[in-house]
Amino acid sequence: MFVTTIGLEVHVQLRTRSKMFCGCPVEFGAEPNWCTCPICLGFPGALPVMNHEALRLTVLTGLMLNCEIAPLCKFDRKNYFYPDLAKNYQISQYDRPLCARGALALHGSAYPKDAQKSIATIDKQVPLVRIHLEEDVAKSFHFETSTGIDFNRAGTPLMEIVTEPAISSPEEAFAFLTALKQILVYGNVSDADMEKGQLRCDCNVSVRPETQQELGAKIEIKNMNSISGVRRALAFEIERQTAALARGETLQQETRGWDDDAGQTFLMRIKESAHDYRYFPEPDLVPVKTELLLEEVRPRVPELPHAKRSRFMREYEVSDYDAGVLADKVQLAAYFESAAKGARKPKNVANWILNDLQSALATSGRTISDCPIPPEALDELVALIDSGKISSKQGKDVFAEMFASGKPAAVIVRERGIEQVSDSGAIESLCEQVIAANPKPVADFQAGNTASLNFLKGQVIKLSKGKANPQLAGEILERKLRG
């Protein structure tokens, strides 16, 4: 039997307005080389200036992941030559990362749907090695006979999160990235959109015989850009390595790429010798004490998804599953809370959000952030239904009009004159008319055919032009027919 070990190195683009060491804007999709200046183009003599918001966002991430925060923030130069690195060194952190240790919990909902029933370790904690801050490099574009370089990305703040080799399966790696992405979005640290390259990941994976103590040869799969791709690449790689070991081959440390279309990894390079980056302290940046930063950041630590989910279950009595879906996206959670705050039955509010609202948003191509129904207005609609003023069927029509026009529920109900009649005197007289006009169904009911009651109830509602409260109509009819 073979054992799998996985460790991830995740790069996250931070959500700052300007770059790490200059005032250039951080923009996605701007004209190539538009967001540049002598500092991020690496002109000799240009001096870096630290972006404190990037430090705060990194510290915030550290706090959300229970890391130890270094008392002093110091940067180092990592020296190497590459066309996308104009200075010939990258400003990074070597021996004193801003955050160390800490862990991320893998709760069930973070796993792929098809794997949620067979989770190996419930609520597993994946320990982290470190989180550090560095600057991103420029981006190369390879054309037919030339290569172009876009420096817009050069010098943008990049946070690197490194896990211990403690992930045991592709499904756990999937859960790790899903949970991490969720926390980054919750903390407003990054949009963490893998398609836009805001979250990039290198996967290290090795396989060894169960009887062997030390880890197997580390194979690194570079530059993964989707969470499902990570799962598939790891599954492929584990199978490939296991088969090789089973054939008696020995594996050696190497770097591979992932071909998503072919569903295969391919060899990029075999590790020649250890790189020598000649790290040394960045002389142009003064180390910063993190004490003040910590004070500023602590109030920004949000309630995390898992805690929110438990609280929703406790405070609003929604099911485990519903609480999970609501807490999954921070804006949806906020919408639910505003709508459910004053509600008599918050559970009904949750149902409307999870069913009707979600599907209306999906069909109209909107998200909760540009929802045409404000949360308070949804609460008002649910209250109208819960109090019996309109039926739930009428509620659906009112909802559709609210979604289309943005009008409040009460206005629509008034305009349409559909307020439900719950006045028992009025319904009683309708029932009497229906009984008098339908001797056959009445006799059927009295002979034991209970289904006739539904027919009679339908007649009452028809006579009321749909306004009679169906439950009340049923009760009154039954009382009269049995009496």
User: What's the rounded Cα separation, in Å, for the pair 337 and 349?
Assistant: 10
Neighbouring C-beta atoms of residue 11, cutoff 10 Å: 17
Residues 91-110 vs Zn ion: string with x where CB under 5 A? --------------------
Whichever of 86 and 325 has its CB closer to Zn ion, that residue is 86
Which residues lie below 8 Å from residue 232, measured CB to CB, with a gap of 6+?
170, 260, 263
User: Which of the choices ligand ADP, Zn ion, none does residue 218 contact, using the CB cut-off of 5 to 8 A by kind?
Assistant: ligand ADP
Whichever of 39 and 138 has its CB closer to Zn ion, that residue is 39
CB of 332 vs Zn ion, minimal distance in Å: 37
| 413 closest CA partner among 393, 398, 396 | 398
User: What's the rounded Cα separation, in Å, for the pair 464 and 283?
Assistant: 84
CA distances from 306 to 171, 323, 441 (A): 19, 10, 56
| 155 closest CA partner among 278, 66, 257, 46 | 46
Tokens 């538009």 belong to residue = 34
Burial class (CB in 10 A: 0-12, 13-18, 19+), 10: buried
The one among 6, 8, 10, 22 contacting Zn ion by CB under 5 A: 22
24 binds Zn ion (CB under 5 A): yes
Whichever of 40 and 297 has its CB closer to Zn ion, that residue is 40
Whichever of 19 and 130 has its CB closer to ligand ADP, that residue is 130
Q: Which of residues 203-222 bind ligand ADP (CB under 6 A)?
A: 204-206, 215-216, 218
Whichever of 92 and 204 has its CB closer to Zn ion, that residue is 92
Q: Which of residues 443-482 bind ligand ADP (CB under 6 A)?
A: none
The one among 3, 37, 49, 215 contacting Zn ion by CB under 5 A: 37
User: What's the rounded Cα separation, in Å, for the pair 259 and 237?
Assistant: 12
User: Which of the choices ligand ADP, Zn ion, none does residue 165 contact, using the CB cut-off of 5 to 8 A by kind?
Assistant: ligand ADP
Q: Candidates 8-16, 29-37, 46-54, 168-176: pick the segment binding Zn ion (CB under 5 A).
A: 29-37
CB of 169 vs ligand ADP, minimal distance in Å: 13
CB of 241 vs ligand ADP, minimal distance in Å: 10
8 binds ligand ADP (CB under 6 A): yes
40 binds Zn ion (CB under 5 A): yes
Per DSSP, the three-state class of 159 is strand
User: Which of the choices ligand ADP, Zn ion, none does residue 37 contact, using the CB cut-off of 5 to 8 A by kind?
Assistant: Zn ion
Q: Which two tokens stand for residue 447?
A: 């002979």
CB of 177 vs ligand ADP, minimal distance in Å: 13
Q: How many residues contact ligand ADP, by CB under 6 A?
A: 15
CB 215 within 8 A of CB 165: yes
Q: Where are the beta strands (DSSP E) in 314-377?
A: none
CB of 130 vs ligand ADP, minimal distance in Å: 9
Residues 156-195 vs ligand ADP: string with x where CB under 6 A? ------xxxx------------------------------
Q: Which two tokens stand for residue 224?
A: 């993964």
Q: Where are the beta strands (DSSP E) in 80-123?
A: 89-92, 99-100, 103-106
User: Which of the choices Zn ion, ligand ADP, none does residue 24 contact, using the CB cut-off of 5 to 8 A by kind?
Assistant: Zn ion
46 binds Zn ion (CB under 5 A): no
Which residues lie below 8 Å from residue 142, measured CB to CB, with a gap of 6+?
none
The one among 3, 9, 388, 444 contacting ligand ADP by CB under 6 A: 9
126: part of which helix (H) or strand (E)?
Answer: strand 124-135
| 57 closest CA partner among 41, 46, 73, 42 | 73
| 125 closest CA partner among 187, 77, 66 | 66
Q: Candidates 17-25, 130-138, 224-232, 334-342: pick the segment binding Zn ion (CB under 5 A).
A: 17-25
CB of 270 vs ligand ADP, minimal distance in Å: 14
CA distances from 182 to 329, 413, 420 (A): 8, 39, 43
CB of 116 vs ligand ADP, minimal distance in Å: 25
User: Which of the choices ligand ADP, Zn ion, none does residue 169 contact, using the CB cut-off of 5 to 8 A by kind?
Assistant: none
Residues that bind ligand ADP (CB under 6 A): 5-9, 162-165, 204-206, 215-216, 218
Binding site for Zn ion (CB under 5 A): 22, 24, 37, 39-40
